[in-house]
Amino acid sequence: MEIIDRFNEKDDDEAKTIHTCLEILENLIEISPQVAIENIFLKTNLLNVLLRRMDETSSNASSSKKPNEEERTMNPVKLYSSEILTILLQLSQQMREAFRDKTTMDKLLISIAFYRDVKPNGIDEQECLENMFDSLCHVLIDSTNQDLFRTLEGIELLLLMIKERKFARQAAIKTLNYALMNNSTSCNYFIENGGLKILFAVLVRKEDSNSKKKKKNKETNDLEDKEHLISILTSLLRGLYLLKDDAKIQRIISKFEENKFEKLDILLDLFFSFYEKVKDFDENIILGNLEQALGEKLSDDDIYIERLDAGLLVLQQLCIIIGFVCSKQTLKKKIEFLILQKDIEIKEIAIFLKEYEANFASEDEQGKATETSMIHALLQNMGVTNL
């Protein structure tokens, strides 16, 4: 590992040697992931080697200025290092725990922050940046890492990338989703640092696309962004509910009254879209089309997982948000009126919430009890007490 670390990837022969070593490491991971992780990555300096190879600022340390797009060439070693890091973090909790170290986390953030105002030069560098963000998402699955990420001002970095509407915006939205998930402290921090304004600005943003291909890609990316935004909103409302911070919950809810209910209309449009997706999928289950397509008999748990993947997960999150929004009577009446235009009663939203409650999994009884309490409060907001 020390020899690899001393090699210079700017020298063609040494770069080929590094690339060959990385290929061997990838093969070892594929053959026996746990053995490779425990005996190589956790007992050597290889994690730092990968992070150093990904750091554009260290590879250009001799210059005080960032290289422009023409001056910068994509190093295959950097791309390969980012790919291996993503694989390792996806496979191993032990590797994720390695990022509980401040210096290690900071190295990854510095590599990503380089692209705040520098555009990836070509497809390979764009893929490398995506790998970095994917690695960070895996790191943020760990709650301790979420807290460290917050103290290192990672949330501020993501908000800047989203606000500036550049190439890394979509990846930053996705990563923010992971940064806030199941972390009440980070949710509160996000709001206190101006996150709501940026979040809702993305929700209502409309962008023009010229060609049909660009329009199709834009629609796909826009839907992915919306799904992450819905998940973020759900995390915020749940986190504030756990903190018993009703004032901040009302700050979020009041956003849906602004500009003649503009954000509420978007919320309900998404609800109608996912409602139809799940409805169509459930009809296919009843007809036996799903089992026929998969070629096997499915258990109730298997069917529920398939339904989550088909859109039920996002629909449940939308129902949770609607449940909170219904705490304001003017909004509740507006929701009831609009969903009735689609022949949907508010009781149907309540049914989805009860199904979510019944299938909610938690490692501790307190977590389960808190979620149950929240769902009951949302049902009361909607005026549905008997199902």
Determine, yes or no, domain membership for 18.
Answer: no
Q: Please choose, from the candidates 75, 74, 78, the residue with its C-alpha nearest in 3D space to the C-alpha of residue 53.
A: 78
Residue 29 CA neighbour count, 13 Å, CB half: 20
Query: Tell me, what DSSP letter sits at residue 64?
Result: S
Residue 377, domain extent:
258-382
Residue 140 in 3-state DSSP? coil
Q: Are 188 and 245 in contact (CB under 8 A)?
A: yes
- pLDDT band of residue 71 (cuts 50, 70, 90) is low
pLDDT at position 62 is: 43
- The pLDDT, as a whole number, for residue 56 is 66
Residue 41 is predicted with a pLDDT of 82
Instruction: Report phi then psi at 12, rounded to 5.
Output: -55, -45
User: For residues 53 and 64, which has the higher predicted lDDT (pLDDT)?
Assistant: 53
Average pLDDT, the chain: 88
Helices (H), 181-288: 184-192, 195-204, 212-243, 246-254, 258-287
Report whether pLDDT(363) > 70.
no
Q: How far is C-alpha 357 from the chain's CA centre?
A: 22
In this structure, is residue 371 part of a structural domain?
yes
**More confidently predicted of 341 and 385:** 341
Overall average pLDDT of the 264-282 stretch: 96
Tokens 């799904």 belong to 227
d(CA 238, CA 384): 20
> Scanning the structure block, which residue is given the tokens 């759900």?
234
Q: Which of 53, 48, 61, 59 is nearest to 79 (CA)?
A: 53
Looking at the domain assignment, is residue 79 inside a domain?
no
Phi, then psi, of 327 in degrees rounded to 5: -65, -20
Give residue 2's pLDDT. 59
Per-residue pLDDT at 59 = 52
pLDDT of 54: 87
Domain tally, the chain = 1
Is 381 or 222 the better-scoring residue by pLDDT? Answer: 381
Asked if residue 318 belongs to a domain, the reply is yes
**Cβ neighbours of residue 21 under 8 Å, at least 6 residues apart?**
4
Backbone angles phi, psi at 194, to 5 degrees: 80, 20
* Tens digits of residue pLDDT in 73-100: 667 889 999 999 999 999 999 999 999 9
pLDDT at 43: 83
In a domain, residue 29? The reply is: no
Quick one: pLDDT at residue 336?
Answer: 97
Q: Determine the average pLDDT of the residues in 103-127.
A: 92
pLDDT of residue 61: 44
Best mean pLDDT range from 175-189, 215-229, 279-293: 175-189
Contact, 128 vs 54, CB < 8 A?
yes
Lowest-confidence range among 73-82, 96-105, 266-275, 341-350? Answer: 73-82
13-17, 207-211, 244-248, range with the lowest pLDDT: 207-211
* Residue 40 included in any domain: no
Rounded to whole angstroms, the Cα distance separating 138 from 90 reads: 6
User: Helices 184-192 and 154-163, interaxial angle, to 10°?
Assistant: 50
What is the model's pLDDT at position 117?
84
Q: What is the pLDDT of residue 73?
A: 62
pLDDT above 60 (res 68): no
| pLDDT tens readout for residues 201-236 | 999 986 554 545 555 556 667 889 999 999 999 999
Does the residue 126 lie in any domain?
Answer: no
Give the DSSP letter of residue 65: S
Phi, psi dihedral angles at 6 (to 5 degrees):
-85, -15
* Cα–Cα separations (whole angstroms), residue 197 to 92, 200, 251, 266, 277: 36, 6, 11, 16, 30
Instruction: Tell me the pLDDT band of 102, cut-offs 50, 70 and 90.
Output: very high
Residue 74 is assigned to a structural domain of this protein: no
| pLDDT band, residue 4 (cuts 50/70/90) | low
pLDDT of residue 211: 47
Confidence of residue 3 (pLDDT cuts 50, 70, 90): low
Q: In residues, how long is the chain?
A: 387
Q: Percent of the chain scored above 90 by pLDDT?
A: 64
Task: Count the neighbouring beta carbons within 10 Å of the beta carbon of residue 234.
Answer: 21
DSSP helix/strand/coil, 132: helix
* Contacts of range 29-36, beta carbons closer than 8 Å, 24 or more positions apart: 29/84, 29/87, 29/88, 29/91, 33/91, 33/92, 34/92
Residue 208: enclosing H or E segment and its boundaries? none
* pLDDT (tens digit per residue) in 298-328: 788 888 999 999 999 999 999 999 999 999 9
